[in-house]
Amino acid sequence: MSEREGRLDQQASIMHHDESVAAKLKRLVSSQSYAYMRTVMIEMLHLEENQALQIVDVGCGEGAFCRDVSARVGRGSQIIGLDVSENVLDIARAQGNGDQTRGEIAYMVGDMMHLPFSDASCDVVICAGTLKYLETEERERAALEEMMRVLRPGGTLLVLDNDDYSITYAGVEDEELERKVVGAYASLQGDAQCGLRLPALCADLGLEGVEYREVLLEETNDFSLETAGRAMADNMHDVLVQRAQSHTQDSMVTEDEVERFYGQVQDAVHNGAYQWRYSKYALVGKKKG
């Protein structure tokens, strides 16, 4: 394994391969904030309920988008969730297809760089929050070109990714510490600002009718277990503490700094000043015929 591949494996484990983190991922995507994000994505697809479609969700995680979109498609549609982690797909399968499903959902292990589908075989290809883990522009473009390969002419590509440096926990006492901790976490997320570069990455793919928009997630004075801000803070805490303990020389923050920041977030909640915000960016377009 090359040094770069080793880094990618390490970054992927932050959200996928470790079982304890997979449970936090489930909490994150089950939150109202992430449900809102998926609603925006579905609206951008402009689906017709009487149209049977072949849909692929690349990097589907625990399958929340697959379940949501299955209630909005025509009967006879097939939704395939693809992910590199069998562990996280087990979580997806365990949750079933939902009560309002109109399309058939299937999950499979696969590599986004080599999609296991024929040319021009899919009507819709989704990739949300996964492209950034490829880390480099060259690999990101190659993955997007692979998505375009399997997309039929007139089919729809929807890509959503993050600006992880935009994460804010407003109300904390030490804003400089907040930016240091968030910056350390973002630095472990691959291409942390991939969402900002989606227009440039997709510029030469042969898409028409392109729409690009910010999807702002926001929670105010709620730090319960069901919120995205809490799930992210818990994961940020665990990842950075582990990093500080195992990489003492090159960790961007100390264990004490992480603990102080997490405590200040809780203080902000108690003081009524807490607000969590996170910017994601979505781009949608149709493949030229």
Looking at domain 3-164+190-218+279-287, its CATH architecture is: 3-Layer(aba) Sandwich (3.40)
- Mean pLDDT value of segment 35-49: 94
Among 60-74, 90-104, 210-224, 239-253, the range of highest mean pLDDT: 210-224
Residue ranges covered by each domain of the chain: 3-164+190-218+279-287
Mean of the pLDDT values across residues 257-264? 97
Separation CA 58–CA 54 (nearest Å): 13
Q: Are 214 and 196 in contact (CB under 8 A)?
A: no
Residue 247 predicted with pLDDT over 90: no
Q: pLDDT category, 16, cuts 50, 70, 90?
A: very low
pLDDT given at position 20: 59
Q: How far apart are CA 63 and CA 252, in angstroms?
A: 33
Average pLDDT over residues 216-243: 94
pLDDT, one tens digit per residue, over 117-158 is: 999 999 999 999 999 999 899 999 999 999 999 999 999 999
Q: Read off the pTM.
A: 0.90
- How far is residue 283's CA from residue 210's CA, in Å, rounded to a whole number? 7
Q: In this predicted model, what pLDDT tens digit does every residue of 76-114 receive, in sequence order?
A: 899 999 999 888 898 899 887 766 667 899 999 999 999
- Would the pLDDT of 210 be above 90? yes
pLDDT-based confidence at residue 13 (cuts at 50, 70, 90)? very low
| Cα dihedral: 219, 222, 227, 230 (round 10) | 100
- Distances from the Cα of 170 to the Cα of 117, 218, 272, 273, angstroms: 44, 11, 11, 7
Contacts of 147 (CB under 8 A, 6+ apart): 58, 112, 115, 125, 127, 157
Residue 124: CB atoms within 10 Å: 22
Mean pLDDT of 33-57: 94
Dump the DSSP string for the chain.
--HHHHHHHHHHHHHTTSHHHHHHHHHHHHSHHHHHHHHHHHHHHT--TT---EEEEET-TTSHHHHHHHTTSPTT-EEEEEES-HHHHHHHHHT-S-TT--SEEEEEE-BTTB-SS-TT-EEEEEEES-GGGG-SHHHHHHHHHHHHHHEEEEEEEEEEEE-GGG-EEET-S-HHHHHHHHHHHHHTSSSTTGGGGHHHHTTTS-EEEEEEEEEEEEEES---TTSHHHHHHHHHHHHHHHHHHH-TTT-SS-HHHHHHHHHHHHHHHHHT--EEEEEEEEEEEEE--
